[in-house]
Structure formats: structure tokens, C-alpha cells
Amino acid sequence: MYYRKLKLKKYGHMIKFFKKKTKNILMAKSSKSKKKTKNNDSKLIYIPFVILAIVIGLFIALPYVHSSNTPSSISSTQNNGPLFDLVKISNVGYANTTQVYFISWYGCPYGATLSWPLYTALQDYGNVSVVTHYSITEPDIDNGSQGVPGLIFTGFNSTSNVTFHFLYIYNQNLTATPSGVPLNNNAVSIGLQEIKDNEPYFVYNIIYQYEVNETLPGLLTPIAYGGHPPHIASALIITGPKGTWLLIGYPNPLTPNNLISINNSSSQLLSEIKSGHVPSLINDIAKEIIEAINEAQ
């Protein structure tokens, strides 16, 4: 309100000018023709008020037009935000060097799917140790009794300025933590505690904000409460001096079933990738991860 008063005061001379100009017009009209009806004269009276309203409206609107074009420190390049897409969530970085965090659980179909392009990307930055694995089976996953082929990360020896951290917060069947603490329908809070106990606090904050506190576009509830049972979903966080990126779930368009159609054997798929024959869909996602890592530096 104070800002608007200053604008009106600053441009008060313009308003007075329009009033004076309009008064002269009315006097000229009166001297030229005395046959004008009272109805026409009354219409002319409203002209200065219309002009005044336009002037006031323009100067009130100017600050809002400017502010709507001001860039935000938070950005999202996809309609669904970080759900199934790797997007930059902030211009703020949480480390002086690039850090990659993979939060998952042993039986997660989405984490299994994401593990392949992540493994492929990380080979550019160090030596990655993995073991082959399969997720739990689900009704919409078509791979018999094996579940989704995946990789379990066991180590990373960096040969660059990129560091990789991985954390598995639940066991294979989503009944306990890896150390054996029963979940007892408290998987969300226990999973958050696992993250808080083992990773930097900003990792906990990001997972809490995007999986527990916020309902992402296209969902009716926070993603942590959309599972059966409710639990923390697999996520990939990339942060560095130039910002932070986040992906929750599998990486579009590499769905669990698309991965199975590429190769339903985790050992065969790993052999192919190690020999340099990376399936194109996995390679495309790996390039997106590499791009985010490089942009974060």
C-alpha cells in the first residue's frame, strides 16, 4: 500500500494535467456549439475519471509485472516435478564438490530399475562395486517370480571429484530395516530416521519435503503414503556448488516393465553393460544423470 501511495504522489502532476486538459476540452466544446444536449455534456464529465483510472491502474500493475518475471531459486523442468524425472529443484548446492546420494531399499522395483543407468553413469567417475539382485514381485510387473532385475551397490572408489553415497533403509520384503528393526506399520518414520542417522541432514530434509510433506503434481497424497504399506520411495539426489537435482522413483521412460523387456536377467544385463553394450534406453538415462552431475560441479 505504501508503495502505491508513492507512485500516485510521484505521478500526481500527470493526473492534474489530464484534469486540466479535459476541462479545456469541455470549455471549447461549449463555446463552439450551444446545441449540445445535457446528455452529451454529462458523458464528457466521465472522461477525466476514465483517464485517471487508466493511469492509476498502470502504475499499480507495474511492480507486479516485474515480480512475475523475476527468476526463482527453485526450478522444475517437468510437469510432475521430480517424480519419475531428474529435475533441478534448487540453485542452492549443499557441498563444495559434487555428491550423489542414492536412497532405496533392497526389494524396491523402482530402485532396481534406476540402479542400471546410475551404475552406467557412475563408471565415468570411479570404480563401482555391485552385486546382481531382483526386487520383490508385484501384480503389474511381468517377470514371473523373479521381480525386476537390479543391482545392489556395495562400494565406490572415486577417481574424480564426484562422491557417491548409497543407503538401503528397508529389507527385501519391506518388513524391517536392514539391521532387523521391525517396521510395524511405521515404515515412513523409521525410514526417515534411518536417513537422518546415516546421511547429512539436507538429504533428510529433501526426502521429507518431497516425499512426506508435499503432494507432487498428479498425486492425491504425498508419495510416501501412496504405497502399500506407506514407505519412503527410492530417490536420487545430486548436489554440488551449482545446485541440487532430485529424482523420485524410476527414471522415465525406463519403467520396470521396459527394463524387463530389455533383459529380464540381472547377471546377463550386467555382463552386457560391462562389455560396452549398454542398451540405448539405459544409456539415454545415464547421459541425463551425467549431465546433472557435470552441471552441479
The grid cell for 45 is 464529465
Per-residue pLDDT averaged across 263-274, rounded? 98
pLDDT tens, residue by residue, 190-229: 999 999 999 999 999 999 999 999 999 889 999 999 989 9
Q: Which spans in 101-225 are helix H?
A: 109-122, 187-198, 201-207
| Model confidence band, residue 144 (pLDDT cutoffs 50, 70, 90) | confident
Q: Indicate the helix (H) or strand (E) that contains 281.
A: helix 280-296
CB 105 within 8 A of CB 234: yes
End-to-end CA distance of the chain: 43
- Cα(203)–Cα(209) distance, rounded to whole angstroms? 10
| Model confidence band, residue 61 (pLDDT cutoffs 50, 70, 90) | very low
Per-residue pLDDT averaged across 33-46, rounded? 49
- Cα(108)–Cα(148) distance, rounded to whole angstroms? 9
CA separation, residue 186 to residues 90, 226, 229 (Å): 30, 14, 9
- Cα(248)–Cα(269) distance, rounded to whole angstroms? 23
Largest Cα span, the chain: 100
> What pLDDT is attached to residue 49?
52
Per-residue pLDDT averaged across 10-33, rounded? 45
Among 179, 183, 164, which residue's Cα sits nearest to residue 232?
183
Among 73, 69, 50, 72, which residue's Cα sits nearest to residue 61?
69
Sheet strands (E) in 135-282? 149-158, 162-168, 235-240, 243-248
For the whole model, what pTM was predicted? 0.74
pLDDT tens, residue by residue, 222-235: 999 998 999 999 99
> What pLDDT is attached to residue 101?
99
What are the two backbone dihedrals, phi and then psi, of residue 91, each rounded to the nearest 5 degrees?
-80, -5
Per-residue pLDDT averaged across 56-67, rounded? 33
Per-residue pLDDT averaged across 92-96, rounded? 95
The grid cell for 233 is 520411495
> What pLDDT is attached to residue 143?
78
The chain-wide mean pLDDT, for the chain, equals 82
